[in-house]
Amino acid sequence: MASGMAITLDELVKRFGGEVVGDGAHAVGSLAPLDKAGSAQLAFLANQKYLPQVETTRAGAVLISPADLEKVTNRAGSNFIVTPNPYAYFARVAQAFIDLATPKAKPGVHPSAYVDPDAKVAASAVIGPHVTVEAGAVIGERVKLDAGVVVGRGVKLGDDVHLYPNVTVYHGCKFGARVIVHAGAVIGADGFGFAPDFVGEGDARTGSWVKIPQVGAVDIADDVEIGANTTIDRGAMADTVIEECVKIDNLVQIGHNCRIGAYTVIAGCAGIAGSTNIGKHCMIGGAVGIAGHVTLADYVIVTAQSGVSKSLLKPGMYTSAFPAVPHGDWNKSAAIMRNLDKLRDRIKSLETALADTAKRGDTSGDE
Amino acid sequence: MASGMAITLDELVKRFGGEVVGDGAHAVGSLAPLDKAGSAQLAFLANQKYLPQVETTRAGAVLISPADLEKVTNRAGSNFIVTPNPYAYFARVAQAFIDLATPKAKPGVHPSAYVDPDAKVAASAVIGPHVTVEAGAVIGERVKLDAGVVVGRGVKLGDDVHLYPNVTVYHGCKFGARVIVHAGAVIGADGFGFAPDFVGEGDARTGSWVKIPQVGAVDIADDVEIGANTTIDRGAMADTVIEECVKIDNLVQIGHNCRIGAYTVIAGCAGIAGSTNIGKHCMIGGAVGIAGHVTLADYVIVTAQSGVSKSLLKPGMYTSAFPAVPHGDWNKSAAIMRNLDKLRDRIKSLETALADTAKRGDTSGDE
Amino acid sequence: MASGMAITLDELVKRFGGEVVGDGAHAVGSLAPLDKAGSAQLAFLANQKYLPQVETTRAGAVLISPADLEKVTNRAGSNFIVTPNPYAYFARVAQAFIDLATPKAKPGVHPSAYVDPDAKVAASAVIGPHVTVEAGAVIGERVKLDAGVVVGRGVKLGDDVHLYPNVTVYHGCKFGARVIVHAGAVIGADGFGFAPDFVGEGDARTGSWVKIPQVGAVDIADDVEIGANTTIDRGAMADTVIEECVKIDNLVQIGHNCRIGAYTVIAGCAGIAGSTNIGKHCMIGGAVGIAGHVTLADYVIVTAQSGVSKSLLKPGMYTSAFPAVPHGDWNKSAAIMRNLDKLRDRIKSLETALADTAKRGDTSGDE
């Protein structure tokens, strides 16, 4: 993760905040774990169990919280940057080093790209090879459209948006600032809506499905990140809405007219059916399925592979998935599971029978 | 949803059927819900619970069924189009308004597209930027290939097919008329088939998987719609077949040699393994998993997230998914679930013990 | 599956091994099932139940194992190629016939492709229309990049790699020889990692998610095949690793820092969370979900739709999925399932009650 150049702790603090304890003039050029870091590297302590390593590390400096620094008795020759959230601080510094190490793309439109004359593209934007930007689209400052990206009619992309290769954005969608969309994602495809127009039953049934036009769009707020090959459908009448700082992993499906509340995170392979309303600060686990037209309160957590078929109106953690066990054991339990009602009935008759026996026991006892 | 122009009710009925009750010369230019519509807008009644709104709406006209119109006592100054299926009628009219409002793409091949000299493209087709059409492909009348679409060797696309951006169609696949495929979908990739060619066991195992060539294709009938980033594999020997008017949502996987019966709908994130045969008019819920080599009868409904491992030969609704409950409650039940056989055994011994007690109770009673 | 030309059995054996029993000069030009094959076609016996067809087939030759040939009493006029694994042999021959039948793509870079001047592309490679190859990429001998493929900065592709249309490979990823990636797959997108940087609770909560830079890459060994629209994320610090001859189906998600052991197969729609370590020769069923930071031993089999939340350190088959049953039956069992603890408590009290009754029964018996 070498950046090719180094920054003093004083400079880091000036840029990212925190306070230097030790030699502010010491320079670091990259990041490393406590046990591997050298004197030109910056390490961090985010997990109590690595506290002992802080006294033995050869790191040029350690990102540490005030509370943890208290616990470090031997600070001889060590440097620290004290910050309430060393892990987040690490993330920001790491990003800075990467930006330094990454070749800057030249602003402008690649000669192989097609930009409609009626589209507006900021001079600072980077439009890559084989990109298509259709009429009426508005591309903000420093936007990066990678190779093969397709931006539809009238799409608005805020400043510093980055669309990775082969992303497709359908007509009329709106993106806030700093939105990141990974390769192959599709934003604004038609929601899944068809009106049944059939007469007759069984083999005599005739007619067809009539497509319900999807005239809404997708409205994505600032600082949203969307994973590779994820799909977010446009609304039927109103827009599908993704609020600020929502983070969505790969291969996630979000149906038409959904609203995803700010700061909510959705893990890979989750599927959310149409017109569902998810609160703020929710955590949706991997491969979770959520039915349409339901509401999740703020701060709801759904664990991986669980299914949500009704609204969850109280914050908290919800589950409906089983962990895999040896195949034979599972089948044994599954067979009984399919006949739980029989089990329950046997208990009921036992209770009745026992009551009788007890009565008759009393009678005999009275003799 | 403004269309920029208006149509009289008489014109609508001429084009879409039904019967005008009221002023056939009244013109409408867009659609809206009963409670929001104005005099230049068309509303519809598809759900009994909105019946009262029909008497209060300011809509220029209301799409309504004959039966429902009977229930409307106060029709003063209202206009109606009477049709057996107002919702389907609404869908068709809405599509017409959108077509009026949407800029027509000019027929022809975009200069940045690559069309092999040995491909046949109808003069009325619209071939977008960066499209690739390979040798032997045949592209029908009014076909629309959006930016970045790739059509492989010898592919046949029927009239009025629309492939959205970055769709890939592998060599030899056949599409009927009016097929719609959304962005990023992949039609005709190799099915997942490998012959084990290993010798020895455990760490001593050597050899490899040998790829089974997939020489079938995908055969898609008229009026099929396929969602974004969905994948439908080509057959191993014969074709994978999608019958007419099948509607498939986003991120669905359909394995090699499957047959999906006409008018069946498949919701997002469903996965269907190879050589499975799904009947007509089936409804497959979101994230449903269906094993390979099974058969589903016509009119089978599988609810969301359920798993199908055996054939379902009778029409009806099938389920195997649990709704999420509070995490603690679930874990309590799940723990018992894993030991259901112990529970059953305890009941069994209770039954035996009770029988004995009862007998001994009788004896004592006889004294 | 006609190849346009024919090969003698002697030539086949020279090329693919095995031994001719019968007329080595007999030529075949394609493959077919035993019951359909003609004298110019090659059939195979891989399944005992088709053994009788071997004596009646009109195939020009039959691929058969030594043990099965023993069982063929009437070999009059039949030809055989004897090989320990007829199915794998069939697969190899079928591939050879396809290669003969498939038009050879001309080596070179399509005029519409963009190859950065700082990229190295072997003269024998085939770079298709609208392909993008970025700076520092190295493309091996006979590599095939289909239309719309995007190869990022510094990517290394080994010899005979084939990337199907619209595949995206992010910067820095490494591919071994003969890797096949199907259309729309995304290799090396950022792993899903964010540091929480929030203060306050409930509505008072402020702050945001801070992106953890993903500075690892994806390292793919020889003979791996990856399905359409599958996503494999780059590592956070170290690489995500896919070992040799791993076979991955469509729409599979593999999180950052995973390691997938050699020869493991992963069926469609499976999702594997980050930092998970899967052994060699495992079989992961369709739509299986595997949690992050767990380990699967070699030779673990997880059946379709099961969920793995803890490490599985012993080889064997694991399950946690229910097969769908009629909706009503399921709901009845599911309702009881949610209250299994009540059922257990009723059994407990029955046991206590029975013990008492029994005691009192004894007493009464003593009189």
A319:B340 CB<8 A: no
Q: Where would I find the H helices in C205-303?
A: none
**Residue A306 contacts B where some CB pair is shorter than 8 Å:** yes
- Among B255, A305, B234, residue whose Cα is nearest residue C267: B255
pTM: 0.95
Q: What is chain A's length?
A: 367
Distance from CA of C115 to the nearest CA of B (A): 16
| SS3 (DSSP) at B48 | helix
Rounded CA-CA distance C163/C126 in Å is 11
| SS3 (DSSP) at A69 | helix
Residue B76 pLDDT greater than 90, yes or no: no
DSSP characters over C13-51: HHHH--EEES-TT-EE-EE--TTT--TTEEEE--SGGGH
Contacts of A338 in chain C (CB under 8 A): 325, 329, 333
What's the DSSP call for residue A24?
A: T
Percent of the residues in chain C that have a pLDDT greater than 70, as a whole number: 97
> Exposed, middle or buried: residue C336 (CB in 10 Å: 0-12, 13-18, 19+)?
middle
B305:A289 CB<8 A: yes
| SS3 (DSSP) at C108 | strand
State the pLDDT at residue C363.
Answer: 59
Distance from CA of B172 to the nearest CA of A (A): 24
Residue that has been written with the tokens 């077919």 in this structure: C32
Residue B209 pLDDT greater than 80, yes or no: yes
Contacts of A190 in chain B (CB under 8 A): 182
B318:C299 CB<8 A: no
Q: Mean pLDDT across the stretch B181-197?
A: 97
Which candidate in A256, A281, A293, A327 is catalytic?
Answer: A256
Which residue of C263, C269, C339 is in closest CB contact with B209?
C263
State the pLDDT at residue B273.
Answer: 98
| For testing contact with chain C, the best of B231, B300, B337 (most C CBs within 10 A) | B231
State the pLDDT at residue A2.
Answer: 40
Q: Give the distance, in angstroms, between the CA of residue A84 and the centroid of all CA atoms in the same chain.
A: 24
B91:A212 CB<8 A: yes
**Residue A313 contacts B where some CB pair is shorter than 8 Å:** no
Rounded CA-CA distance C333/A33 in Å is 51
What's the alpha-carbon Rg for chain A, to the nearest Å?
Answer: 29
A213:B304 CB<8 A: no
CA angle B259, B260, B262 (to 5 degrees): 125
State the pLDDT at residue C153.
Answer: 97
B184:C184 CB<8 A: yes
Contacts of B229 in chain A (CB under 8 A): 184, 186, 229, 231, 251
Contacts of A208 in chain B (CB under 8 A): 223, 245, 263
Identify the segments of chain A with pLDDT beneath 70.
Answer: 1-4, 361-367
Q: What is chain C's length?
A: 367
Q: Give the distance, in angstroms, between the CA of residue C301 and the centroid of all CA atoms in the same chain.
A: 13
Q: Which of residues 181 through 240 in chain C touch A, CB cutoff 8 A? A: 184, 186, 189-190, 192, 194-198, 202, 205, 208-213, 215, 229, 231, 233, 237
Rounded CA-CA distance A260/A250 in Å is 16
Percent of the residues in chain C that have a pLDDT greater than 90, as a whole number: 81
Distance from CA of B78 to the nearest CA of A (A): 25
Which residue of C189, C195, C287 is in closest CB contact with A227?
C189
Q: Assign C15 a pLDDT band (cuts: 50, 70, 90).
A: very high
**Residue A9 contacts B where some CB pair is shorter than 8 Å:** no
Is beta strand B253-254 parallel, antiparallel or unpaired with respect to B231-233? parallel
Contacts of A204-210 with C-beta under 8 Å, sequence gap 24+, read A205/B263, A205/B281, A208/B223, A208/B245, A208/B263, A209/B245, A209/B247, A209/B263, A209/B265, A210/B88, A210/B91, A210/B92
C363:A365 CB<8 A: yes
Which residue of C319, C340, C357 is in closest CB contact with A357?
C357
CB pairs under 8 A between B and C: 230
Average pLDDT of chain C is 94
Rounded CA-CA distance B172/B258 in Å is 17
Is beta strand C174-175 parallel, antiparallel or unpaired with respect to C194-199? unpaired
Query: What spatial distance separates the first Cα and last Cα of chain B, rounded to whole Å?
Result: 92
ipTM: 0.94
Quote the tokens at residue B352: 């035996």
Q: Which of B101-110, B351-360, C168-177 has the highest mean predicted lDDT (pLDDT)? A: C168-177
Q: Give the distance, in angstroms, between the CA of residue C273 and the centroid of all CA atoms in the same chain.
A: 17
Residue B358 pLDDT greater than 50, yes or no: yes
Q: Which chains touch B (3 or more CB pairs under 8 A)?
A: A, C
- Among C102, C184, C96, C174, residue whose Cα is nearest residue C140: C174
Q: Where would I find the H helices in chain C?
A: 9-16, 51-56, 66-70, 86-101, 327-337, 340-366
Minimum Cα–Cα distance from C83: chain B residue = B197
Contact predicate C301/C318, CB 8 Å: yes
| For testing contact with chain A, the best of B264, B282, B305 (most A CBs within 10 A) | B305
A318:B326 CB<8 A: yes
Which candidate in B26, B171, B182, B256 is catalytic?
Answer: B256
Percent of the residues in chain B that have a pLDDT greater than 90, as a whole number: 81
* Least confident span in B25-34, B283-292, C253-262: B25-34
Amino acid identity for residue A343 in this structure? L
Contact predicate B270/B288, CB 8 Å: yes
Rounded CA-CA distance B223/C314 in Å is 50
pLDDT digits (tens, 9 = 90+) for C62-102: 999 999 999 998 888 899 999 999 999 999 999 988 888 88
* Least confident span in A93-97, B198-202, C337-341: C337-341
pLDDT digits (tens, 9 = 90+) for C36-57: 999 999 999 988 899 999 999 9
Q: Which of residues 18 through 57 in chain B touch C, CB cutoff 8 A? A: none
Rounded CA-CA distance A93/A31 in Å is 8
| For testing contact with chain B, the best of C327, C339, C347, C357 (most B CBs within 10 A) | C327
Q: Assign C361 a pLDDT band (cuts: 50, 70, 90).
A: low
Q: Which chains touch A (3 or more CB pairs under 8 A)?
A: B, C
pLDDT digits (tens, 9 = 90+) for A302-340: 999 999 999 999 999 999 999 999 999 999 888 888 888
Quote the tokens at residue A365: 């006892």
Residue A67 is inside which H or E element, if any? helix A66-71
> Exposed, middle or buried: residue A366 (CB in 10 Å: 0-12, 13-18, 19+)?
exposed
- Among C93, C99, C189, C190, residue whose Cα is nearest residue C144: C99
Residue C270 pLDDT greater than 60, yes or no: yes
Minimum Cα–Cα distance from C228: chain A residue = A229
> Exposed, middle or buried: residue B186 (CB in 10 Å: 0-12, 13-18, 19+)?
buried
Q: Assign B366 a pLDDT band (cuts: 50, 70, 90).
A: very low
Contact predicate C150/C129, CB 8 Å: no
Quote the tokens at residue A291: 């039915």
| SS3 (DSSP) at C313 | coil
Residues in CB range of C48: below 8 A, 6 or more apart: C68
Contact predicate B264/B280, CB 8 Å: yes
CB pairs under 8 A between A and C: 227
State the pLDDT at residue A5.
Answer: 76
